[in-house]
Structure 1
């Protein structure tokens, strides 16, 4: 059963998927409507799940489930992954981009993990740069630690010789 993301409890479990480019307005609408329909039919062992989906910054798809209502099973989690794989194939999009997303010059950029050190050296990524932590576990963490400064994240090791 789909409910609006804003009505999901902070303890609701989340999965954050990152696209390899910003969605156009038409893509945004299509993805949101398609995934809302999927979440509305989402079930674990035949029992409906209470869930939500919302797109942030035209680039991040967040799927949530209230596991107090009913626990997501391995099969139901696999189903949600399959939705995004099928949608990505249909739309020629990659919803499983594993690059590091950050804000630079008021735009979301992404960089491969192996290039981070060079971007820090160039000053493109600095301690105050906002990065996206797509490994948050629940909506409360999403609200509080999804966007954090690089110095407050796992990237802090790159700034040990700088003043934060």
Structure 2
């Protein structure tokens, strides 16, 4: 059962898939009914799930689930991954590859490898207060308060300590 993303409760469980490139406006528009249909059809052991899916910052596919209605099973999570894999093939985009880190630099999402991150810190492109998209946030509440968060407040904090570059 589809639930508008902004109506998911703070406790809703999230899965964040970071794209290797921004979704185009045309792709985003075409994906809206596809994402809504996925959320409508998503089930767990035959029970409808209260779910939503949305593209955020033109770069992230976020799937949300109100587990107070019904929990996701292993099979339903597998189904969501197959859905994401289908989008990857259809759009020629990577959503499951996790080697890049995403920062908000001058209002734009910038993807960096660990090596590029060290250089970006050295040259001042990325600073301790640069917003970082920690895609391990697990709930709607965390998404609203900690995504993005200043890089120094995340697992990246050691990168900003003297002598760690």
Q: TM-score, normalised by structure 2?
A: 0.93
State the alpha-carbon separation in 2 of the partners of residues 145 and 92 from structure 1.
Answer: 30
Deviation at 1:63, TM superposition (A): 0.3
Contact 1:35 1:83 in 2 (8 A): no
Q: Which runs of 5+ in 2 are unaligned?
A: none
Aligned to 2:93: 93
Q: Which runs of 5+ in 1 are unaligned?
A: none
State the alpha-carbon separation in 1 of the partners of residues 32 and 20 from structure 2.
Answer: 17
Q: TM-score, normalised by structure 1?
A: 0.94
State the alpha-carbon separation in 2 of the partners of residues 105 and 13 from structure 1.
Answer: 30
State the alpha-carbon separation in 2 of the partners of residues 156 and 71 from structure 1.
Answer: 34
State the alpha-carbon separation in 2 of the partners of residues 17 and 32 from structure 1.
Answer: 16
Work out the number of aligned pairs and report it: 162
Deviation at 1:140, TM superposition (A): 0.6
Q: How does 1:14-163 map to 2 (within 5 A)?
A: 14-98=14-98, 99-161=100-162
SS at match of 1:63: strand
SS at match of 1:96: coil
Query: What root-mean-square deviation, in Å, do the aligned CA atoms of Structure 1 and Structure 2 show?
Result: 1.3
The 4+ residue runs of structure 1 with deviation greater than 6 A are: none
